[in-house]
Amino acid sequence: MNSALALVLVVAAIWLPVPGAVAEERPEVIDWKHLVPAGYDPNQLFRKYEKDVSTLRDNDPRAERAAERLRQAWENAPVVATLNNKMVKLAGFVVALEGDGKAVSEFLLVPYFGACIHVPPPPSNQVGLVRTGNKPFKVNQMFDMVSVTGRLRTERARNDLASASYIIEATQVEVHKP
Amino acid sequence: MPILTLAVKSLLNRRVTALLMVLSISLSVMLLLGVERLRTQARAGFANTISGTDLVVGARTGAIALLLHAVFRIGYATNNVSWASYQEIARHPRVRWTIPLSLGDSHRGFAVLGTNPDYFRHYRYARTRALELETGAPFADVYDAVLGADVARELGYRVGQSIIVAHGAVDAGVSRHDDKPFRVIGILKKTGTPVDRTVHVTLAGLEAIHLDWQSGMRVPGAAVSADDARSQDLTPRSITAFLVGLDSRTAVFHVQRFVNDYRKEPLLAILPGVVLQELWDAIGVAEQALLVVSALVALVGLCGMVTALLTGLNERRREMAVLRSVGARPRHIFALIAGEATALAATGIALGVGFLYLALFAARGLIQTRLGLSIEIGFPSPYEWLLLGAVLLASFVAGLWPALRAYRYSLTDGMTVHI
């Protein structure tokens, strides 16, 4: 009887704190604007070039240079370092990268549908690489909006010239109900 | 239990009708499950063909057309990518690796792909698997060729074999590059992807065999021998498409935009995962329709079973009377008929699954040859079990009607039969 009681106590000691620990770290519901550092305004760059750009023709080399500078600024958009390692919940659209035909195991989370078609594409601080780990996400339709819950990390790409980007190790991906 | 023995004997007495009922249900289950099985296998097969590739770049056609041609060797390219454009894009700071692909020629029904050693280094399939050699080594010489597993197996080729590449997609013996044979230097392991059905050669080799060809035919009097070709500049002028791997997956939109906006040549960059999803969405309607048709066929099978049971009830009234006489209550008769219906359906389902597996084993080779897809023959998936369960439940419900009729007959008839 005593050994049984001891066993129950040991099991309780192991199992009970775990849900408590998980419950302590509630995911912070964030919006896409939280991923942009305060004071960074991509539209500023547009305005900087707008005076010149509106007077130039499409094939003008000056227009191309302006577009190139804008593109580079977009590609190297800064990340918010304080968000590193936080549990977050973010809603967006899915751009599938890896899957097996039924479920997606790696995808990009973007703020609007059609991010691969629209010009310009979202700046690099408005895109998150989501890895679903062992629980691939079943994609119903391409235009489903999803809510991703997971740990957000800011990671430097291998190339030193490149900027950092957001990666989310997802614990849960569900269809977003607004 | 005497009633059960009698029930079995009664069924054996009607064995032709019973067999037909079982057969119709088994065929409809085979169709239902087969459609679902092929659908998921095809999707998995396509999705597993390419992995870890951020972009596929080719001439500006359409996204699905480019993916099907460059990755699955389905369809044709309308234009090429110039070598200069390829080099410039490969030099983009976010690009970590590229694999050039040159398609167009064939060998005895198999596609010939011109590429370079980066193909064996960077190509991934089924998420993380790299290409491995069964025997031999990768390219070294201009005229080296590496065969996919199926090519070697079906044509009986071994390392050291000499092969002739034909010009164009059909190898009919008319337009062949027979002055410049290739030598098999390696054979790849089986991958279950279109790689198995491809003959891989070097880009330089493809360039060499076309040196004295102009507009699709050999130029008379300007022949260049195989050895002379080696000393010429064999840098390709153009390629069909190339695969791109980036240093960071989130950079994919920017590089894609860079390629799509490239002014010097009309190019198209696609995300293979996204375009595959587009393909599924487009085909999805047809898949749903096929599923509905299969479900209706299963329903027809069940209707046949109910019809046979109902019409047979009249002849079996004497049998029911006999059963009543040995102590069967009306509820036993009900249970008997309902149980019979479910048992017949269950046998039909089991038989149908058996037929399906037989058919899959038989057709596996043909599907592999025609579509390059390998069908995995494993246990039914949870969804398939659900479908089978649904058929069983439907048959049980359908069987309740004849059971009820029999119940009422046995109530009114008692020991004697009133027609």
Same domain, B180 and B320: no
Question: Of B249, B278, B307, which marks where a domain is finished?
Answer: B278
Q: What is the mean pLDDT of residues A14-38?
A: 70
Name the stretches of chain B with pLDDT < 50: none
A59 and chain B in contact, CB less than 8 A: yes
Rounded CA separation A51/A58 (Å) = 15
Final residue of a structural domain among B245, B278, B311: B278
Residue predicted with more confidence, B198 or A25? B198
Nearest beta carbon to residue A96 from set B46, B258, B277: B277
For residue A20, is pLDDT > 70? no
Which residues in chain B have Cβ-Cβ distances shorter than 8 Å to A128? 250
pLDDT per position as a tens digit, B80-133: 999 999 999 999 988 999 999 999 888 888 899 999 999 999 999 888 889 999
Of B232, B253, B278, which marks where a domain is finished?
A: B278
Asked if A99 and B250 come within 8 Å (Cβ–Cβ), the reply is no
Extended strands (E) in B283-378? none
Looking at residue A12, its pLDDT comes to 64
Same domain, yes or no: B70 and B22? no
Is pLDDT of A78 > 80? no
Per-domain residue ranges for chain A? 2-175
Q: Which residues contact B11 (CB under 8 A, 6 or more apart)?
A: B18, B340
* Inter-residue contact A78 to A125 (CB < 8 Å): yes
B9 and B101 belong to one structural domain: no
Q: How far apart are CA B342 and CA B400, in angstroms?
A: 9
B219, B141: one domain? yes
Residue B14 — φ and ψ, nearest 5°? Answer: -105, 35
- Residue B398 in any domain: the answer is yes
Peptide bond into A120 cis (omega under 30): yes
pLDDT in tens, B332-350: 888 888 888 899 999 999 9
Contact of A142 with chain B, judged by CB distance below 8 Å, is answered with yes
The minimum CA-CA distance between A101 and chain B, rounded to whole Å, is: 5
Give CA–CA dist B206/B86, Å, rounded.
Answer: 17
B75 and B190: one domain? Answer: yes
Instruction: Report if residue B293 sits inside a domain.
Output: yes
Query: A121-134: per-residue pLDDT in tens?
Result: 788 888 889 998 88
Two tokens, residue B301? 């099978």
Domain co-membership, B292 together with B403: yes
Tokens (6 digits) for B347: 């046998």
Whether residue B288 sits in one domain with residue B175: no
In a domain, B419, yes or no: no
DSSP secondary structure, B55-95, as one string: EEEEESS-HHHHHHHHHH--S--SS-EEHHHHHHHHTSTTE
Rounded to the nearest 5 degrees, what angle is found at the Cα of B133, between the Cα atoms of B127 and B136? 165
Q: What pLDDT was estimated at residue B311?
A: 87
Q: Return d(Cα B263, Cα B379) in angstroms, integer.
A: 53
Chain B residues 233-272 with CB within 8 Å of chain A:
247-254, 256-258, 261, 263, 271
Instruction: Tell me what ipTM this predicted complex has.
Output: 0.73
Kindly state whether residue B365 falls inside one of the protein's structural domains: yes
Whether domain A2-175 has CATH 2.40.50.870: the reply is: yes
The closest CB to that of A74, out of B42, B254, B261, belongs to B254
Q: Is the same domain home to B130 and B261?
A: yes
Copy the structure tokens of residue B92.
Answer: 């983009």
Q: Mean pLDDT for chain B?
A: 88
- Total structural domains within chain B: 2
Residues B228 and B289 in one domain: no
Verify that B30 and B65 share a domain, yes or no.
Answer: no
Cβ contacts (< 8 Å) between B257 and chain A: which residues? 71, 119-121
Within 8 A of B37 by CB-CB distance, chain A residues are: none
Rounded-to-10 torsion of CA B239, B243, B245, B246? 70
Domain that residue B110 falls in: 49-278
Q: Please, are residues A94 and A144 in contact by the beta-carbon 8 Å criterion?
A: yes
| Residues B221 and B302 placed together within one structural domain of the fold | no
Instruction: Please report which helix (H) or strand (E) contains residue B246, including its range.
Output: strand B241-246
Domain assignment present for residue B298? The answer is yes
Mean pLDDT of all residues in A89-103: 85
Which pTM was predicted?
0.80
Cβ contacts of B296 within 8 Å, gap of 6 or more: none
Chain B partners within 8 Å of A154 (Cβ): none
Q: Are B352 and B33 in contact (CB under 8 A)?
A: yes
Distance between CA atoms of residues A157 and A154, nearest Å:
10
Q: Is residue B376 assigned to a domain? A: yes
- As separate numbers, helices (DSSP H) first and strands (DSSP E) second, chain B gives 13, 17
Alpha helices by DSSP H, listed for A25-169, are 42-53, 61-75
One domain, residues B91 and B181: yes
